[in-house]
Amino acid sequence: MKFLSVLGSTGSIGTSALDVVRMHPDRFRIKALTAANNIPLLVRQIEEFEPEMVAVFDKARALELTKSLTGRCKPEIQYGEIGYVSAAAWETSAMVLLAMVGAAGLKPALAAIEAKKQIALANKETLVMAGEIVMEKARENGVDILPVDSEHSAIFQCLAGNRAKDFKRIFLTASGGPFRKRPFEDFGTISIEDALNHPTWNMGHKITIDSATLMNKGLEVVEAVHLFGVSQDEIEVLVHPQSVVHSMVGFNDGAVIAQMGVPDMKEAIAYALSQPARLNLNTDFPDFSGIRSLTFDPPDVDKFPSLTFAFEACKQGGTLPAVMNAANEVAVQAFLEKRIGFIGIFKIISSTMGLHTRIDNPDLSGIIEADNWAREKAKSLIKK
């Protein structure tokens, strides 16, 4: 039996993770849950999984949750950053699924590491902001960081059983998002509804917009550098609209190993929770005869400069990846609030990165300071 804390339990990754737990009650038990705003769904999760503690965004939502819990389960309720950190380090949990969105996941991740919890990581921003610090602390504390992103799970699986010295290249696949074939001159007419209409994956709003701009893939490039200890020059992004090949690894003899499956996050989540065992998820295999062909194309970085931003952030390092991530979060939120257009997302990120004076080898306070600076700078650029 593995005891779990699920941070971000009402989001797409969190609900899929609880589906896996529901399918295998003999293997997993929930000890802590966290959410931001979806109190009705959180109440249902509490009643079903009976966690010991729960954390929500703020005091008002904590009071709402307290009033809404009428069943027999009465967990300890906390809120805010302190509550999320407490859930990550909850004493009776052995593993933390970190599925919070954005920079908010960094401090809970570090708290889980300090508490020597195994981590299933779906929050890529944690490694984008502070990859060197997080991975070093994980090594010091003997903590495994297991990838939950389908692409990084695929890479992890492809590397299993192979010698590190034989590795040569990561092929990181991308669906291409909803605008793969749209001419750039039409990007000015892209609506929120257009951008949220992902052709393959069912995700939350922020991640779906990131997929539409290809920033999600850019963040994954930075994450892969830290997770697998490789250079950005050893990563090649390929647009694969069928989303059957989740990623590939090439070796020095020319062999390429691919991990394939239907586009369902439960497979990657389950593998992170149970590896090296594989759980029965009653999932179908891809219909290869129906697919007929699998295609791979280079990304159009002129249309989608997010990948250029990410590779440059990797190359320069220091505080620049944190600045890129923060500017992106602010710009995406502004787009969702109809304060900027789709192209404005690229402009805000580029301008914010260009105005930043990079600090090399920052400590955690330096990263947080850079994150705060970038958010304020991006907001001021949006106002202009």
Q: Which helix (H) or strand (E) holds 357?
A: none
Query: Is 17 within the bounds of a domain?
Result: yes
Look at residue 200 and tell me whether its pLDDT is greater than 80. Answer: no
The reply to whether 323 falls in a domain is no
pLDDT digits (tens, 9 = 90+) for 32-61: 999 998 999 999 999 999 999 999 999 999
**pLDDT digit string, tens, across residues 15-29:** 999 999 999 999 999
pLDDT of residue 201: 61
The answer as to whether 202 is a domain residue is no
User: Residue 53 pairs with which residues in a beta bridge?
Assistant: 32, 76
Mean pLDDT of the chain: 95
- Which has the closest alpha carbon to 30: 44, 360, 38, 160? 44
Count of the separate structural domains present in the chain: 1
Give me the mean pLDDT over the 319-325 stretch: 97
Beta bridge partners of 169: 250
Query: Looking at residue 91, what DSSP letter applies?
Result: T
Contacts of 302 (CB under 8 A, 6+ apart): 184
Rg (the chain; Cα; Å): 20
> How far separated are the first and last CA of the chain, in Å rounded?
55
Evaluate if residue 197 carries a pLDDT over 90: no
Overall average pLDDT of the 360-365 stretch: 96
Q: Looking at the predicted structure, is the pLDDT value of residue 203 above 80? A: no
Question: Is 288 inside any structural domain?
Answer: no
Note the pLDDT of residue 60. Answer: 96
- The helices-and-strands tally (H runs, E runs) of the chain is 16, 11
Q: Note the pLDDT tens digit of each residue in 96-140.
A: 999 998 888 999 999 999 999 999 999 999 999 999 999 999 999
Q: For residues 46 and 74, what is the distance between their CA atoms, to the nearest angstrom?
A: 9
Q: d(Cα 139, Cα 160) in Å, to the nearest integer?
A: 19
* Amino acid sitting at position 236: E
User: Could you give the percent of the chain with pLDDT greater than 70?
Assistant: 99
Give the per-residue pLDDT at 103: 84
Residue 95 confidence class, pLDDT cut points 50, 70, 90:
very high
Is residue 303 in a domain?
no
Domain CATH code at residue 129: 3.40.50.720
User: Which pLDDT belongs to residue 58?
Assistant: 94
Query: pLDDT, tens digit, for every residue of 253-299?
Result: 999 999 999 989 999 999 999 999 999 999 999 999 999 899 999 99
Identify whether 54 is part of a domain: yes
- Do 373 and 352 form a contact (C-beta atoms < 8 A)? no
The residues, any chain, with a CB within 8 Å of residue 66's CB and separated by 6 or more, are 77
- In this predicted structure, which of 77-81, 119-123, 173-177, 198-202 has the lowest mean pLDDT? 198-202
Mean pLDDT of 143-164: 96
Assess whether pLDDT exceeds 70 at residue 219: yes
In a domain, 353, yes or no: no
Structural domain boundaries enclosing 80: 2-147
Q: Domain for residue 214, yes or no?
A: no
Q: Indicate if the pLDDT at residue 204 is higher than 80.
A: no
